[in-house]
Amino acid sequence: QSAIARSSSSSTYVRARAYSSDSVPERKVAVLGAAGGIGQPLALLMKLNPLVSKLSLYDIAGTPGVAADVSHINTRSEVSGYAGEEHLGKALEGADVVIIPAGVPRKPGMTRDDLFNINAGIVKSLCTAIAKYCPHALVNMISNPVNSTVPIAAEVFKKAGTYDEKRLFGVTTLDVVRAKTFYAGKANVNVAEVNVPVIGGHAGITILPLFSQATPKANLSDEDIKALTKRTQDGGTEVVEAKAGKGSATLSMAYAGAIFADACLKGLNGVPDVVECSYVQSNVTELPFFASKVRLGKNGVEEVLGLGPLSDYEKETLESLKPELLSSIEKGIKFANQS
């Protein structure tokens, strides 16, 4: 009898282990710029993610406090904080996913391109360290202008001999989050069920939500679609103006960044059919980088999906965004190769 009891309890134990966090792979996520407006709530959301086993928080200053604070939350991951460049290597070592919200945000009247002079240099130095300390990590680029910082990262990795186009992502999830929210409001449908792909890039007119493919379907007028498109493109500016000099979107961006990082982790862990929009190296159009739906897998990008059928308005808008997006890409490439 005791033998039966022992064997049943040991099989229960095995089953319990199979479903506990012990069976979820170890994953280290590093957040660079973790003490900032986006970095702090993003650190919180990543601490709540059960797929993360190590959470590494890096900033040039202020990270010990954020790390101590977040580390008291009783969830799976072990938290470490690193402040100052001399600790960047340690922060990155062994990272599976690196999220980069480091750099200055916009103030009223600024475009994302106005941030180029400061953020391009920050991204370049952080990516140089990524190439050295965690060359196989998936990189989630949040720092603006994303249209240029992703090409900068690609050039830095190419120079270091570590570039893998499957592992570099511009985070455009906030555009998707906004498109979903605004569409649900206008179409009067349950926001939790809404899907809207957003393609192109991540700045002003380069952001192109495909409302013709939005689900659930709704009969919106051309005027409504145009207004929704414009609001999605200007969503960031709406927040910048409301914050009146105190920065740009941080809370909604942290949410969007956490969704995208979670999708990357699921892909790495072999969860099938994980699809998110992202700005990646692409041949969906003639532009070398372009945002569209991407299937995520064990190596990062598994497949860059096509655009699907576009309405006449979307076709026209797509053509008109290409020159600006191309010039932002070229600006990034030029910067990376010049300095």
Residues recognised as catalytic: 202
| CA pseudo-torsion sign 55, 59, 64, 66 | negative
Which position's Cβ is nearest ligand NAI? Answer: 36
Query: x/- contact string, 256-285, with ligand NAI (CB under 6 A)?
Result: ------------------------------
What part of residues 154-213 is at the interface with ligand NAI (CB under 6 A)?
171, 174, 202
Q: What is the DSSP string of 264-301?
A: HHHHHTT-S-EEEEEEEE--SSSSSEEEEEEEEETTEE
122 is in an annotated binding site: no
- φ, ψ dihedrals at 289, nearest 5°: -130, 140
Quick count: other Cβ atoms within 10 Å of Cβ 11? 10
112 is in an annotated binding site: yes
Based on CB atoms, which residue is closest to ligand NAI, 179 or 187? 179
Cβ of residue 315: shortest distance to ligand NAI, in angstroms? Answer: 25
- 10 Å CB burial of residue 177 (0-12, 13-18, 19+) is buried
Based on CB atoms, which residue is closest to ligand NAI, 145 or 297? 145
Query: Which of 79, 91, 90, 94 has its CA nearest to residue 48?
Result: 79
Based on CB atoms, which residue is closest to ligand NAI, 102 or 263? 102
**Is residue 38 involved in binding ligand NAI (CB under 6 A)?**
yes
Contact 33/149 with Cβ under 8 angstroms? no
**Is residue 144 involved in binding ligand NAI (CB under 6 A)?**
yes
**Is residue 102 involved in binding ligand NAI (CB under 6 A)?**
yes
Tokens representing residue 52 in the block:
């993360």
Cβ of residue 13: shortest distance to ligand NAI, in angstroms? Answer: 44
Cβ of residue 169: shortest distance to ligand NAI, in angstroms? Answer: 11
Query: Which of 111, 124, 100 has its CA nearest to residue 332?
Result: 124
Tokens representing residue 311 in the block:
């309405």
d(CA 263, CA 101): 17
Based on CB atoms, which residue is closest to ligand NAI, 248 or 328? 248
39 is in an annotated binding site: yes
Q: Given the structure tokens 């979107």, which residue do they identify?
A: 249
* # binding residues, ligand NAI (CB under 6 A): 32
The stretch among 140-148, 207-215, 218-226, 292-300 that binds ligand NAI (CB under 6 A) is: 140-148
Binding site for ligand NAI (CB under 6 A): 32-33, 35-39, 59-61, 101-106, 115, 119, 122, 126, 142-144, 146, 171, 174, 202, 247-250, 253
Residue ranges of the annotated binding site for NAD(+) are 33-39, 59, 119, 142-144, 253
